[in-house]
Amino acid sequence: MFFTTAGRVIAWLAVALGMGQVGLGLIVASSDNPALAAKRYLGSEYSGVAIDEGMLSIALGIALGILTDISRSVARKYSKPTDKE
């Protein structure tokens, strides 16, 4: 159950950080000098690279979240019921 919980935390972090990266990439893309701002704030040559990496992070976070939900449902299905008699 530890890996399921850790996976859920990592999935949420990946989605949140990916959304932040996409947002920052869009802000940089709409600036006056996007090439200079991308090098300064994103560490890449173009803002599109940061947007692509952010979207990939979001997709991987969603996939990991789906896998952890599957893991939780399987664990619930096959766990022994507790007898409280």
Q: Kindly report, residue by residue over 14-54, the tens digit of the pLDDT.
A: 999 999 999 999 999 999 998 899 999 888 889 999 999 99
Cβ atoms of 21 and 52 closer than 8 Å: no
Share of the chain above pLDDT 90, in %: 67
pLDDT at 83: 55
Q: Do residues 52 and 20 touch, judged by C-beta distance below 8 A?
A: no
Q: Where are the alpha helices (DSSP H) in the chain?
A: 2-29, 34-37, 47-78
Q: What is the pLDDT of residue 54?
A: 95
pLDDT score, position 57: 97
- Position 65 scores a pLDDT of 96
Record the tokens describing residue 42, joined without a space: 């994103």
DSSP tag of 1: -
pLDDT of residue 82: 66
